[in-house]
Amino acid sequence: MASIEQAERRAPWILLSPALTAVGLLLLVPLVFVLVYSFWLRSAVGGIDATFSFNNWAEVLGDRFYRDILLQTIKIALITTVVCALAGYPAAYFIARVKGVNRGFLLLLLMLPFWVSYIIRTMSWINILGVSGAVNSLLQAMGIVTDPIQMLYNETTVVLGLVHYLLPFMILNIYVSLDGIDTTLEDAAHSLGATRWQAFTEVTLPLSMPGLGAGALLCFVLGAGTYITPIILGGPRDAMFANLVFDAIITQLDWPLGAALSLALLVVLGTVVVVYNRFAGLGQLAKGLG
């Protein structure tokens, strides 16, 4: 019969086993498939030719086209992250300082967009900014313009769509961080001679950096991995890296090339996460998502 100590040592693994099984079957096994695919070739008829080859990787790593799109993707994700941080911080600060029922209401409002599909939310911009959208109709009705302005399908609208999608994640992460900061710290700084603004920059801002960092990481990774937003709101030149994966797999039926491309993106984003974890730790991320 097993001793109590042995049972206790085994307990965590027993409790974790359903989750580990799910992660193993649904994440790790498919990832291994993707890795294997990336070393195979597309057959002439669009199927898979299971012969080992470095061709896909040579193309992904050697072609400037892919590198440029990767840089473009990182740029758009970075701009989105900065905009989210600048717009999200004041909102999070406000929510964290509101008391009682109102705070719950504001947090509910923040969750509200998640009840509507991300695709629908993105498409809604067509009704607002499109050629026959709300803004153009208004401008025409007021006689400011005669012909509708083309506002959609450029890099700015891609960033706009991404900010729309990712801002709640940023606000929630900063909010959680701010909520954990004792407000008397600002009072203390203030009483010692700092102005409100100085008290904020000296005390509250540095203490909320973990939340800001976690929010930024989420925004960057989710932003850089998206392909829906550029499809709906971007022009032909605004493709992001995930669009290439989509094209390779769905349009060209070239699964092996798609596998290599998606692994390349995974490695880049994974590196960002690892570097972040090295400096800030991922624990904060769990807090923000809870």
Q: Which residues bind other proteins (CB under 8 A)?
A: 182, 184-185, 187-195, 198, 202-203, 206-207
- In angstroms, the CA 45 to CA 185 distance is 68
- Residue 200 Cβ vs other proteins, minimum distance, rounded to whole Å: 13
- Residue 6 Cβ vs other proteins, minimum distance, rounded to whole Å: 36
β-bridge partners, 41: 49
Name the residue nearer to other proteins (CB basis): 67 or 196. Answer: 196
- Residue 214 Cβ vs other proteins, minimum distance, rounded to whole Å: 17
Residue 89's contacts (CB-CB under 8 Å, 6 or more residues apart) are 174, 212
Percent of the chain that is helix, strand, coil (3-state, to 5)? 75, 0, 20
Name the residue nearer to other proteins (CB basis): 151 or 205. Answer: 205
Per the CB < 8 A criterion, the answer to whether 120 and 164 are in contact is no
β-bridge partners, 42: 48
**61, 68, 139, 227, 248 from 261: Cα distances, Å:** 9, 13, 43, 13, 9
Name the residue nearer to other proteins (CB basis): 192 or 286. Answer: 192
- Residue 88 Cβ vs other proteins, minimum distance, rounded to whole Å: 21
- Residue 280 Cβ vs other proteins, minimum distance, rounded to whole Å: 14
Per the CB < 8 A criterion, the answer to whether 88 and 171 are in contact is yes
- Residue 92 Cβ vs other proteins, minimum distance, rounded to whole Å: 19
Name the residue nearer to other proteins (CB basis): 8 or 187. Answer: 187
Name the residue nearer to other proteins (CB basis): 90 or 206. Answer: 206
Name the residue nearer to other proteins (CB basis): 68 or 187. Answer: 187
- In angstroms, the CA 129 to CA 156 distance is 12
